[in-house]
């Protein structure tokens, strides 16, 4: 009967991060298919956001023209507050209520500026 010796156990040292200049090369983010897929989805959503803002602007322009034709005040702060409450209640996150308020106010302000510009042309 022959006895086989077990190989000696290797002792491992804790991993120590290599300095940046000694690290193996990592593929560029543009080469990573997962990153590309996320970026493509984000770009698709960005295009949808731009489209929706333009649709909103066209609707506000029509509303303002109608109000002007019927001698109705264009600005309605109560309506804006109501809309902010409405969208806040619909928000399921992860967008925080404060961030939603800032985004919504920016959209409203931009829409008003652009509707004014369209009304002048």
Contact 115, 64 (CB under 8 A): yes
Could you say which residues of the chain have pLDDT below 50? Answer: none
What is the CATH code for 37-120?
1.20.59.10
Position 120 scores a pLDDT of 87
Q: What is the pLDDT of residues 32-45, one digit of tens each?
A: 889 999 999 999 99
Question: Long-range pairs for 22-30 at CB < 8 Å and ≥24 separation?
Answer: none
What pLDDT is recorded for position 80?
92
Q: What is the DSSP letter of 68?
A: H
> Tell me: the pLDDT tens digits for 87-104?
999 999 999 999 999 999
Characterise 32 by phi-psi region: left (phi > 0), alpha (psi -120 to 50), beta (else). beta
For the stretch 106-109, contacts whose Cβ atoms lie closer than 8 Å and that sit 24 or more positions apart, written own/partner, are 107/53, 107/56, 108/80, 108/83
Burial class (CB in 10 A: 0-12, 13-18, 19+), 104: middle
Per-residue model confidence (pLDDT) at position 12 = 57
Distances (CA, A) of 7 to 11, 31, 37: 12, 42, 46
């Amino acid at each position: 009967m022959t006895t086989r010796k077990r190989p000696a156990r290797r002792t491992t040292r804790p991993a120590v991060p290599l300095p940046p200049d000694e690290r193996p090369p990592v593929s560029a983010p543009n080469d990573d298919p997962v990153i590309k897929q996320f970026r493509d989805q984000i770009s698709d959503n960005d295009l949808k956001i731009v489209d929706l803002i333009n649709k909103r602007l066209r609707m506000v322009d029509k509303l303002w023209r109608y109000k002007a034709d019927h001698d109705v005040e264009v600005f309605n702060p109560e309506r804006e507050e109501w809309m902010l409450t409405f969208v806040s209640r619909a928000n399921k996150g992860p967008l925080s209520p404060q961030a939603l308020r800032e985004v919504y106010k920016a959209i409203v302000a931009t829409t008003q500026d652009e509707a004014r510009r369209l009304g002048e042309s």
